[in-house]
């Protein structure tokens, strides 16, 4: 079975056909020349590889995509857990300030402010100094804890 994309120079296979089959067969025929061509060799190699993927379940595309999907889901779950931990810490800061009856905001809350940025931001950044995952989360999500 030939699985090639036939080139323009071999239009007898596609459009015109053969009036005399002796031109197609034999040692000097078009079929023999085609079988020896680079186009046929490459196409046959690709076909063989594709067939081996169907025989070997570990090389099938859906299996490979499934493995990639599992890796992405695991990565997403790790990131989701990091986000939950950071938000949990921030909520604890909110609860602490509310329980103590302290104001959340300061007069100059911008990140470059040298003065007190307010109880909430100062507390979050204070805890981040001793909690590297929270610090990493704040660095990756600037402006989310404001």
Domain positions in the chain: 8-59, 78-140
Q: What is the pLDDT of residue 84?
A: 92
Q: What is the pLDDT of residue 105?
A: 79
Select the more confidently predicted residue: 123 or 109.
123
Q: What is the pLDDT of residue 13?
A: 66
pLDDT digits (tens, 9 = 90+) for 86-121: 999 999 999 999 999 988 876 655 656 566 778 888
Please say whether the beta carbons of 90 and 145 come within 8 A. yes
Q: What is the pLDDT of residue 108?
A: 59
Q: What is the pLDDT of residue 104?
A: 81
pLDDT digits (tens, 9 = 90+) for 5-64: 555 456 666 677 777 777 777 777 777 877 888 888 888 888 887 777 666 666 666 666
Please say whether the beta carbons of 121 and 106 come within 8 A. yes
């Amino acid at each position: 079975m030939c699985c090639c994309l036939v080139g323009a120079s071999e239009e007898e296979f596609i459009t015109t056909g053969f009036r005399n089959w002796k031109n197609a067969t034999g040692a000097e025929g078009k079929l023999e020349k085609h079988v020896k061509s680079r186009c046929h060799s490459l196409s046959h190699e690709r076909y063989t590889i594709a067939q081996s993927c169907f025989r070997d379940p570990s090389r099938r595309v859906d299996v490979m995509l499934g493995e990639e999907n599992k890796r992405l889901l695991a990565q997403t779950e790790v990131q989701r857990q990091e986000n939950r931990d950071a938000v949990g810490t921030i909520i604890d800061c909110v609860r602490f300030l509310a329980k103590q009856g302290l104001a959340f905001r300061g007069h100059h809350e911008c990140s470059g402010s040298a003065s007190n940025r307010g109880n909430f931001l100062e507390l979050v950044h204070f805890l981040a100094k001793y909690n590297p995952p929270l610090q990493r989360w704040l660095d990756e999500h600037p402006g989310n804890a404001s």
